[in-house]
Amino acid sequence: MQPTVRDPNPPLTRSVEDYLKAIYHLSSQGGFAATSDIAAMLEVSPPSVSGMVKRLSEMGLIEHVPYRGVQLTSQGRRAALRMIRRHRILELYLTQHLGYDWGGVHDEAERLEHAVSDELIERMASALGQPQYDPHGDPIPTAAGDIEEAELVSLADAHVGTKLELRQVGTQDTARLRYFAEQGLTPGVLLTVSERQPFNGPTTIALVPSGDPRVVGRELAQLLWCQEIGS
Amino acid sequence: MQPTVRDPNPPLTRSVEDYLKAIYHLSSQGGFAATSDIAAMLEVSPPSVSGMVKRLSEMGLIEHVPYRGVQLTSQGRRAALRMIRRHRILELYLTQHLGYDWGGVHDEAERLEHAVSDELIERMASALGQPQYDPHGDPIPTAAGDIEEAELVSLADAHVGTKLELRQVGTQDTARLRYFAEQGLTPGVLLTVSERQPFNGPTTIALVPSGDPRVVGRELAQLLWCQEIGS
DNA sequence: GAAACGCCTTAGTCTATACTAATAGTGAGA
DNA sequence: TCTCACTATTAGTATAGACTAAGGCGTTTC
Ligand SMILES: [Mn+2]
Ligand SMILES: [Mn+2]
Ligand SMILES: [Mn+2]
Ligand SMILES: [Mn+2]
């Protein structure tokens, strides 16, 4: 009788699961997730992130390059996609079957995603007819862990007349980020492309649903990664 | 700017909520909940219970009489009934709307009860038509915290011909408890009263659904608290 | 190439909750 | 009334995860 052996594969905790999701989202555009960005997304202090990063890499869930950032291992990616599947199915189930609106649904899913069993998620998925998109149009990963890669287009390249959802802002520059925020250009915003001036000129857009116009120069437009909203 | 003031009313943790539920169930027959019974119910060690008991009484949720046991304060009772409402509505919703059977539903509810919002519970209750009983026939407390007191009758007093659910075993004696367990007489078991001998004689019952007969002497029958199953 | 600034990490602390080992109280029987 | 067996509590330790304060690394700027 040995003095208690540590379980080599303990279930992931709520914190761990939320960190993995944050890292997935922050590194989805191919790079590293920075400590301070993870901290901002999860509303914890940077040292808390450093501490968790150490644990996660010891668990084999992430790869850490000191002072650079982190990336998910394939094991970490699998775990992150599992949580994203749960989150998105929950959001859809709550809106479709329990009358939630887009607003309230995210916070509820953020807590429930850690408490539901795989069985419950699959029962909800069945009740929904094996859906592919959540209420916000985001793709739902399959139970096997495959996800439709969103085809993002920079605003500078988007065709005039298309309707877009702003999905990612491709800079970490504080001044630019602050400017985008002032303009109401934050991830999740819907817009239509009104016109574009020739010779690398600015793009004019209209925000949805307000209709407010914005004129965005080419340099900044290249930083705004958008997803076309299906018909 | 003071050095961080402790929130005087932090949300209850999952552990605290489960302790309160356990204490509620163990002391429902009017007495104190014993440390070792709480420990057994929650599958933790007795010292863990002593530790939690100290915290809960500092929070004003229980009253602790050292070496005797604990009882809920009215605040603790309110919190316990809130969890029981959640648990039972969840169990009913999962069976009615998502095809769960009696078996799987309890564990799922045991986790979800801590993660759902009041709003979600009330939406489920609405979808179920403000139900009064869970899938096991247990009464669902109202949102205001009222619960139908189960009218328990001891097997020694139950009328011949009635169908009963065994709800509580009114002893802590190990030998008697062991004997009851051998006989399959544990809380939750369904039975019908077949006959009773006169002059304080034994009661004969039939287990449901197996039909197996049991003959229970008066002394023991007085320890078996049952609830009549409605028509 | 040095200085400065900003981001990242380390060091040290705190809380909640569990555990084991040791001690103390209680009530049933001798 | 005393003893013993059981139960409860205390003491001490561990882990996850958060925090603040302090120090280290790298990039930008001159
Ligand atoms: Mn969401
Ligand atoms: Mn979450
Ligand atoms: Mn249950
Ligand atoms: Mn529970």
pLDDT digits (tens, 9 = 90+) for A191-208: 999 999 988 889 999 999
Residue A190 C-alpha from the chain's centroid: 16
Contacts of B104 in chain A (CB under 8 A): 119
Contacts of A115 in chain B (CB under 8 A): 111-112, 114-115
- B189 and B143 fall within a common domain: no
- A98 and A127 fall within a common domain: yes
- B191 and B170 fall within a common domain: yes
Q: How many Cβ pairs closer than 8 A exist between chain A and B?
A: 43
Whether B6 maps to a domain, the answer reads no
The SS3 of residue A105 is helix
Domain boundary among B117, B149, B181: B149
- A161 and A142 fall within a common domain: no
In the numeric block, which tokens belong to residue A52? 């968790």
Which residues neighbour A210 within 8 Å (Cβ) at sequence distance 6 or greater? none
- A19 and A60 fall within a common domain: yes
Whether B8 maps to a domain, the answer reads no
- A165 and A144 fall within a common domain: no
Maximum CA extent, chain A: 78
Q: Given CB atoms, is B104 within the 8 Å cutoff of chain A?
A: yes
A115–B117 CB contact, under 8 Å: no
Domain CATH number, residue A175? 2.30.30.90
Mean pLDDT of chain B: 90
Regions of chain A where pLDDT drops below 50: 1, 231
Is the pLDDT score of B225 beyond 90?
no
User: Which nucleotides of chain D are near protein (any atom < 7 Å from a CB)?
Assistant: 7-12, 15-22, 24-26
Place of tokens 């996800």: A147
Whether A4 maps to a domain, the answer reads no
Q: Which residues pair with B33 in a beta bridge?
A: B70
pTM: 0.79
Q: Contact at 8 Å (CB) between A205 and A136?
A: no
Q: What is the pLDDT of residues B68-122, one digit of tens each?
A: 999 999 999 999 999 999 999 999 999 999 999 877 899 999 999 999 999 999 9
Tell me the residues of chain B between 116 and 155 that have a Cβ less than 8 Å away from chain A: 116-117, 119-120, 123-124, 127
CA distance A222 to A224: 6
CA distance A171 to A187: 13
Q: Domain residues for A111?
A: 83-149
Q: What is the pLDDT of residues A127-162, one digit of tens each?
A: 999 999 887 768 899 999 999 887 788 899 899 999
Domain CATH number, residue B109? 1.10.10.10
- A182 and A118 fall within a common domain: no
Whether A128 maps to a domain, the answer reads yes
Whether A78 maps to a domain, the answer reads no
Q: Contact at 8 Å (CB) between A171 and A29?
A: no
Q: What domain count does chain B have? A: 3
Whether B2 maps to a domain, the answer reads no
